[in-house]
Amino acid sequence: MNRLNRMAVLWLAGWCVAVAAPAALCAGTAHDYAKWEKEIAAYERMDRTNPPPKGAVLFTGSSTIRKWTTLAEDLPGWRVLNRGFGGSEIADATYFAPRLIFPCQPRMVVLRAGGNDLHNGKSVEEVFADYKEFAGTVHAALPGAQIVYLALSPSVARWEQHEKEKALNQLVEQYSQQAPYLKYIEDYDVSLGPDGKARPELFVADKLHFNAAGYQLLAARVRAFLARNSP
């Protein structure tokens, strides 16, 4: 092989590596739905053993929902179901909706998610697109149900993304005005103090998740919404 041919072969090999590397990276970072299988299967077993009431208010989303262990007592007078799974993104709620949401036949679906999405590198626009897909998926299966977005509120641990959270909230709020079945609960400011910063006393030691005091403030917003919007 002469020198010219060797250079051509080397150039072609380098080009192949440059093209293949991003594809391999993308394949390696594909969204992993399987990691939630154990939690979703546990919910399914629970529902088979103790079927949930139809027409309830179903809460789903990430750890703010999963860790809301006082949900039923915080919302007296409403039949509520907690179907949160911590660390999840909006895409996970969409993917598992046929197993987690649809069989319960709720009259209202409340989603609190999006913070992990932003933290994991998605843009505000990408997370908003995921929410629209979630709303469309749920509405197609449950056309009589209201779909409610429970806004993100800043935490101490992830304060660096508070502007992105506010931007996402605003997009969802505007979108929710387009159809009567879409609703929005504003609670961005629920965790903020007079200085406009997240209040450390509302969070557990990790400064990310609400403590009892934080959940009481969140519950007050949700109760006020349900009082105005329950059919």
140 closest CA partner among 94, 82, 74: 94
Instruction: Give me the helix-helix angle, 124-141 and 162-175, nearest 10°.
Output: 40
- Taking every pair of C-alpha atoms in the chain, what is the biggest distance, in angstroms? 84
Domain identity same for 105 and 206: yes
Structure tokens at 4: 């010219």
130, with CB counted inside 10 A (0-12, 13-18, 19+), is buried
Domain identity same for 17 and 114: no
Domain identity same for 24 and 90: no
Domain identity same for 124 and 174: yes
| DSSP states of 86-148 | TT--HHHHHHTHHHHTGGG--SEEEEE--HHHHHTT--HHHHHHHHHHHHHHHHHH-TTSEEE
Domain identity same for 71 and 4: no
Please count the structural domains in the chain. Answer: 2
Average pLDDT along the chain, 231 residues, taken 10 residues at a time:
44 40 45 94 96 97 96 96 95 97 98 97 98 98 98 97 98 97 97 97 97 98 94 61
The reported pLDDT for the residue numbered 189 is 97
Domain identity same for 141 and 41: yes
Domain identity same for 137 and 153: yes
Neighbours of 80 (CB within 10 A): 23
Task: Find the domain containing 23 and state its range.
Answer: 1-30
The reported pLDDT for the residue numbered 86 is 86
The reported pLDDT for the residue numbered 179 is 97
CATH code assigned at 86: 3.40.50.1110
Domain identity same for 2 and 91: no
The reported pLDDT for the residue numbered 17 is 36
Domain identity same for 93 and 108: yes
Domain identity same for 88 and 102: yes
Domain identity same for 15 and 52: no
pTM score above 0.85: yes
> CB of 89 within 8 A of CB of 130?
yes
Structure tokens at 125: 């626009």
Domain identity same for 167 and 198: yes
